[in-house]
Amino acid sequence: MARCAALLRQQMMRPEFLRRAWMSQLNEDGDEEASFSFPSSLIGLERWRLPQEGCVEFDQPRSSIVRSIRDNFEAIEEDATDLAIAQLRACRPIPEPQVRELCYKARELLIEEGNVVTVDAPVTICGDIHGQFHDLMELFRVGGDVPDTNYLFMGDFVDRGFYSLESFLLLLCLKVRYPDRITLIRGNHESRQITTVYGFYDECIRKYGSANVWRYCCEVFDYLALGALILGASTEVPENRMQEKTFDTQTTLPDQESEIECEVLDANGEVREKLFRSQGNMNPASASRKSPAPDRDPAESSSPATTVSQPPTSPSQSNTKPPTASLFQPPSTTTGSLLCVHGGLSPLISTLNAIRLLDRKQEVPHEGAMCDLLWSDPDDIEGWGLSPRGAGFLFGSDIVRHFNHKNDLSMIARAHQLVMEGYKEMFSKQIVTVWSAPNYCYRCGNVAAILELGEDGSHGGCIRRANGSEGRREMVGGSVNSVGDGETTNGSNQNGGGLNAVLWNLATPGRRYRVFEAAPQGTRGMPAKKPVGEYFL
Amino acid sequence: MSASIPNLNTLRRGRGRGRGGVVGSGGRVDNDAIVRNTDCDAATSRLSAVEAGYLNDPFARYLTDESWQRRLPLMNRGTYVRTTGIDRIVDTFLLSTTGQKQIISLGAGSDTRYFRLKQEQHTNFSYHELDFKENNKIKIARLKDPQCVQTIKTLCSIDISTSKTTEDELQSDDYFIHSQDLRDLPKKLDWIDENIPTLFISECCLIYLSPEQADRVLSYFTDMTTSAPTAVVIYEPIKPHDPFGQTMIRNLMSRGIQLQTIEKYSDLLSQRERLTSRGLNARAADIEQIWRDWIEQEEKDRIDKLEWMDEVEEFLLLAKHYCISWGWTNYDDESRWLALSAPT
């Protein structure tokens, strides 16, 4: 038996993970040579059995054992990942060698992704998690489990909370197991420097006795994408998962006037708030929730001399035509696409392509475009401003409007800032902050939210809605006079130009926010001894 | 056999009381221990801010338990603003009159302010600290540490080792540590001079008393000096009703800490009225306003550079829930007091 194990080790040029799984089974049979042992809590040994019952017997020829392992390789590997997922779901860390293996695999996956990952709707967008593991479980309960729901997490998985390790590794495991179902992008806390200040480093030391796991994780951080581009989002609020799933509800054309643009549900799926889409964004329902000030463009304030401050590289704004639909070139989406990024925009970035050209595989720098994408915040200012965080910038509504226009985006989704209500739409719905760590740091008393986007019918073979709303553009800023449905002309934005600096940006996608509170303490094994939240005493 | 089994009830007692906040007979002892312990928290926060470069306080390390841990940048910043804010009020008090003055610090615990004032060459004042016996014992033992004695000698030109000490009390020329339970104040504290300008400091102290007790303590001191200039500075949490405040109350409750007066003095207005009703001119500002309005831009820039501050929103939230209120009366020249800005 010992020889068998040794031969296996020699011959199988398989990832270590499989070998270990195999050897731990041998170990159980009393093989002294098997050098690696899993803690018994991890090994549900019956789970490690090969899918084809009985095909692995030690009296079989070696080649047949190897062959059967090779034949069942993927199944075994999935099984192993599933096991790790199960363990992490119970909020128990996995052993260090397994973390190394996981991080290695994750890196192999992430290295294939571009700086801006393309993601197809439907998808659920999540903001900061910050090691609040039990709240992440609550998020999955409210938003649906993986792989039934597609998720996009916009970074800041670690730091501050007590379970950064379990939270990040679980998300990473899910990524490895369901690469197409879950997207992870980098937050400013996915950095060596920040994690040494804000807790993740200390947590790894505490839980493993060395910095190895922290190091493995940091290497993965360097490979995380910087942003994601969501394509094919519908202008309609996605089908409510909580209701009975019936697939043909879309066949009845919804009444144009009563189309729901945005819906807010509580954790039980009860509708708290509904917002109807109407022309020109001037629906009283939405107006009542928004303060007008941040949404107004300077060009509106009737000063002819006002030219909107822009990134220096965009004098050719007026040449940018929206994609016009024709028989041969139907618009790819009914809405524009949606950019997801952890922090926000950068004065050094005026197009998505500029993001794509960055060299991201490094520690987050202290300044520059990559730093800004992870650190910046939208603010009620014009143009750019200095950030109180000491990294990144503040950017105003004009910046967002032009960036979205230029890049055919209907919206930017970002995280990074604590918002007490869980989400906050700004600048005429041009940008939204999504925050997914309820009662942040066990202290802030905030609720959390996730954002669900539905799939536009075009990918599913459904009949395109023939109500003229393809490529529909909505006016952002400027006067309301000339609004017409189906309008596709590019509003004048000539430099030194018009009184009405109206930009016709793409219609926002239908949005459903699910708002949820912190998982109840105690019931989910919250540490009782640890002081909860620091105060000044 | 039975002798080796510990009496579980004696073990359980402290925890049970602390958590439930049940005050039965003897419950007071347990709650006191929890309140006394808050000083350890404060000392840790102070030393953390010192070590990170926010505050200059060479004495803090000698008066802090060795088990202290680094605090997050936002806590350090909060500690910095709180300390700097109160320092400013103390300075105002010390500079407003010329003759002999006294400062009385309630629940002073491991506070280092006396030594810092001495280091800054302030003269003509005596400094009295009041706290529980148990806290004083610890402090006096720490002050006797040779290194501490040496530091104080070097920086303040004071030989603390020559002062008269008992186990829990200390007397020197101008520095005094008194063991005094604020709930059992005698008719008259014989060491108080009612005829000289007096400043009372409560840094997170009165809030742990019941509203009646806290009011009585405050009146006790403000009524004492009737014609001499008198000033009060109170630092404590406010706003218990919004989500952050509710969470704060709940979290502290789970540690057995009850902020007893926070309902009564829940905002800047009621904090101010608490002092005006006692005949003082009063102002109040939250920590966020103090940071914004009292700290010079140059100093802000220095602070910003000390640590990455990725907790901007959280700091605002936290800072809005702590306030400094201060009042003064019987001053011929109020100009220094009036120069301290606060929202009206």
pLDDT tens figures, B122-176: 999 999 999 999 999 999 999 999 999 999 999 999 999 999 999 999 999 999 9
H, E, C per residue of A364-408: CCCCCHHHHHHHCEECCCCCEEECCCCCCEEECHHHHHHHHHHCC
Q: What is the rounded average pLDDT of the residues B239-259?
A: 92
Assign B331 a pLDDT band (cuts: 50, 70, 90).
Answer: very high
pLDDT band at residue B310 using 50, 70 and 90 as cut-offs? confident
| Chain A residue nearest residue B322, CA to CA | A536
User: Which amino acid is it at A279?
Assistant: Q
Cβ(B99)–Cβ(B75) below 8 Å = no
Q: Are A223 and A105 in contact (CB under 8 A)?
A: no
DSSP letter assigned to residue A510: P
What is the three-class DSSP state of A72? coil
Among A322, A249, A371, A313, smallest CA distance to A507 is for A322
A375 contacts A188 by C-beta, under 8 angstroms:
yes
Q: Is the model more confident about A436 or about A51?
A: A436
User: Nearest C-alpha of chain A: how many angstroms from B255?
Assistant: 7
Sort out which chain B residues have CB atoms less than 8 A from A440's CB and list them: 314
Q: Which two tokens stand for residue A529?
A: 């001894």
The position carrying tokens 């054992």 is: A65
Annotated active-site residue A189? The verdict is: yes
Contacts of A207 (CB under 8 A, 6+ apart): A93, A165, A213
**Cα–Cα distance for residue pair A235/A232, rounded to 1 Å:** 9
Contact residues, chain B, for A532 at CB < 8 Å: 251, 254-255
In a 3-state reduction of DSSP, which class is residue A529?
A: coil
Q: Which of B75, B242, B308 sits opposite A197 (nearest CB)?
A: B308
Facing residue for A537 by CB, picked from B73, B204, B310: B204
Q: Which residues of B touch A (CB under 8 A)?
A: 38-39, 41-42, 45, 71-73, 75, 78-79, 82, 204, 237, 242-248, 251-252, 254-255, 257, 304-305, 307-310, 312-314, 317-318, 322
Minimum Cα–Cα distance from A533: chain B residue: B251
Q: Rounded to a whole number, what is the distance in Å from the CA of A397 to chain B's nearest CA?
A: 20
Q: Do B308 and A533 touch (CB under 8 A)?
A: no
Q: Is A205 on the interface with B (CB under 8 A)?
A: no
ipTM above 0.90 for this complex: no
Are A410 and A509 spatial neighbours (Cβ–Cβ below 8 Å)? yes
Least confident of A10-14, A28-32, A167-171, B272-276: A10-14
Q: Which residues of A touch B42 (CB under 8 A)?
A: 536-537
pLDDT in tens, A213-259: 999 999 999 999 999 999 988 888 887 765 544 444 444 444 445 68
Domains located in chain B, CATH noted: 38-338 (3.40.50.150)
Q: Given B78, B310, B317, which is nearest A188 (Cβ)?
A: B310
How far does the CA of residue A416 sit from the closest CA of chain B (Å)? Answer: 9
Q: What does DSSP say about strands A151-153 and A123-126: parallel, antiparallel, or unpaired? A: parallel
Q: Peptide bond before A122: cis, by omega within 30 degrees of 0?
A: yes
How high does pLDDT run on average in chain B? 89
Instruction: Please list, residue by residue across A346-380, b when 16 or more beta carbons sit within 10 angstroms of its beta carbon and e when fewer do.
Output: bbbbbebebbeebebeeebeeeebbbbbbbbbbbe
Sole residue written with tokens 């969501």: A230
Question: Rounded to 5 degrees, what angle do the CA atoms B23, B27, B28 make?
Answer: 95
User: How is residue A456 annotated by DSSP?
Assistant: P
> pLDDT tens digits, residue range A328-357?
444 444 567 999 999 999 999 999 999 999
Closest residue on chain B to A518 (Cα): B247
Interchain pair A390, B309: CB under 8 A: yes
- C-alpha distances in angstroms, A262 versus A276, A286, A464, B276? 7, 10, 21, 50
Q: Which residues of B touch A376 (CB under 8 A)?
A: none
* pLDDT score, position A243: 52
> Which phi and psi (to 5°) does residue A308 adopt?
-70, 130
Antiparallel, parallel or unpaired: β B101-106 and A116-120: unpaired
Q: Helix, strand, or coil here: A432?
A: strand
Q: Which pLDDT score is estimated for A185?
A: 97
Q: Are strands B101-106 and A503-506 parallel, antiparallel or unpaired?
A: unpaired
- Lowest mean pLDDT of A108-112, A378-382, B301-305, name the range: B301-305
Q: Tokens 């939250």 sit at which residue? A: B286
Contact predicate B311/B72, CB 8 Å: yes
Residue A370 has pLDDT above 60, yes or no: yes
What is the pLDDT confidence band of residue A521, given thresholds at 50, 70 and 90? Answer: low
3-state secondary structure of B24: coil
Is pLDDT of A308 > 70?
Answer: no
**Inter-chain contact B314–A197, Cβ cutoff 8 Å?**
no
Confidence of residue B67 (pLDDT cuts 50, 70, 90): confident
Two tokens, residue A437: 């760590």
Residue of B314, B321, B324 to mutate for A, most A C-beta atoms under 10 A? B314
Which is higher by pLDDT, A300 or A398? Answer: A398
From residue B209, alpha-carbon distances to B16, B212, B213, B275 in Å are: 20, 8, 6, 17
Distance CA A152, CA A175 (A): 10
Instruction: Give me the pLDDT at residue A257, please.
Output: 52
Residue with tokens 């405040």: B245
Contact A389 B310 (CB under 8 A): yes
Average pLDDT over residues A12-21: 44
Instruction: Count contacts between A and B (CB, < 8 Å).
Output: 85
pLDDT of residue B295: 95
Residues in chain B: 344
What's the DSSP call for residue A506? E
Q: What is the pLDDT of residue A260?
A: 86
H or E stretch at B19:
helix B8-20
Most confident of A52-56, A256-260, A460-464: A256-260
Render pLDDT for B257-276 as a digit per residue (tens, 0 to 9): 999 999 999 999 999 999 99
Q: Kindly state the average pLDDT of the residues B235-256.
A: 93
Instruction: Judge residue B3's burial from the number of C-beta atoms within 10 Å of its C-beta, 0-12 exposed, 13-18 middle, 19 or more buried.
Output: exposed
Mutate to test the interface with A, among B79, B111, B244 (most CBs of A within 10 A): B244
Q: What is the 3-state secondary structure (H, E, C) of A220-263?
A: HHCCCECEEEEECECCCCCCCCCCCCCCCHHHCCCCHHHCEEEE
What is the Cα–Cα distance from A233 to A512, expressed in whole angstroms? 12
Q: Kindly tell me the number of DSSP H helices and DSSP E strands found in chain B.
A: 13, 9
pLDDT of residue A476: 52
Among A122, A196, A121, A124, which Cα is nearest to A159's?
A196
Which residues of chain B neighbour A443 with C-beta distances below 8 Å? 244, 247-248, 251, 318
Asked if A536's CB is within 8 angstroms of B204's CB, the reply is yes
Whole-angstrom distance, CA of residue A119 vs CA of residue A2? 48
Tell whether the model's pLDDT for residue A479 goes beyond 70.
no
Structure token digits, residue B322: 């702590």
Q: How far, in Å, CA of B313 to CA of B319, rounded?
A: 10
**Are B308 and A193 an interchain contact pair (Cβ–Cβ within 8 Å)?**
yes
Q: How confident is the model at residue A57 (pLDDT cuts 50, 70, 90)?
A: very low
The radius of gyration of chain A from alpha carbons, rounded to an integer in Å, stands at 25
What is the spatial order of strands in the sheet that A377-378 belongs to?
A377-378, A393-395, A384-386
The pLDDT of A180-209, averaged and rounded, is: 95
Q: Is the pLDDT score of A453 beyond 50?
A: yes
Per-residue pLDDT, averaged over B84-90, amounts to 97
Cis preceding linkage at A254, omega within 30: no
Collapsing DSSP to helix, strand or coil, B279 comes out as coil
A390 and B251: CB-CB below 8 Å? no
Axis crossing angle, helix B133-143 with helix B146-156, rounded to the nearest 10: 80
Kindly tell me if the per-residue pLDDT of B50 is higher than 80: yes
pLDDT of A8 above 90: no
The residue among B251, B287, B292, B304 with the most chain A CBs within 10 A of its CB, best to mutate, is B251
Q: Name beta bridge partners: A435.
A: A128
What residues in A contact B237, CB-CB < 8 Å?
535-536
Partner B contacted by A418 (CB < 8 A): yes
Please answer yes or no on whether A532 and B237 come within 8 Å at the CB atom.
Answer: no
Q: How far apart are CA A177 and CA A106, in angstroms?
A: 10
Residue A79 is predicted with a pLDDT of 82
Contacts of A445 in chain B (CB under 8 A): 242-248
Which residues in chain A have their CB less than 8 angstroms from residue B79's CB?
Answer: 536
The whole-angstrom separation of Cα A487 and Cα A280 is 11
Confidence class for position A473, pLDDT limits 50, 70, 90: low
A365 touches B: beta carbon within 8 Å = no
Give the orientation angle of helix A96-110 with respect to helix A164-177, to 10 degrees: 50
Instruction: Specify the pLDDT at position B1.
Output: 39
Taking 60 as the threshold, does the pLDDT of residue A270 lie above it?
A: yes
Res A307 pLDDT > 50 = no
Nearest by CB: A389 against B45, B257, B309: B309
Which residue has better confidence, A26 or B38?
A: B38
The share of chain A scoring above pLDDT 70, in percent, equals 61
Task: Please state, for a pLDDT cut of 90, what percent of chain B lies above it.
Answer: 77
B205 vs A183, B47, B214, CA distance in Å? Answer: 50, 19, 9
Q: Which residues of A touch B43 (CB under 8 A)?
A: none
pLDDT at A9 exceeding the cut of 50: no
- State the alpha helices, DSSP H only, in B227-311: 243-254, 268-276, 287-294, 297-306
- The tens digit of pLDDT for each residue in B22-35 reads 344 444 557 888 88
Structure confidence at residue A511 as a pLDDT band (50, 70, 90): very high
- Closest residue by Cα to residue A123 from A435, A338, A414: A338
Contacts of B77 in chain A (CB under 8 A): none
Indicate which residue of A130, A134, A189, A342 is catalytic.
A189
Residues A217 and A201: their CA atoms lie apart, in Å, by 10
Tokens describing residue A371: 């730093």
What is the tens place of the pLDDT at every residue in B201-233? 999 999 999 999 999 999 999 988 778 999 999
Strand partners, B230: B198, B329
Query: In what helix (H) or strand (E) does residue A273 lie, and over which residues does it extend?
Result: strand A271-276
Q: Taking all residues of chain A, what is their mean pLDDT, rounded to a whole number?
A: 74
> Residue A457: what pLDDT?
63
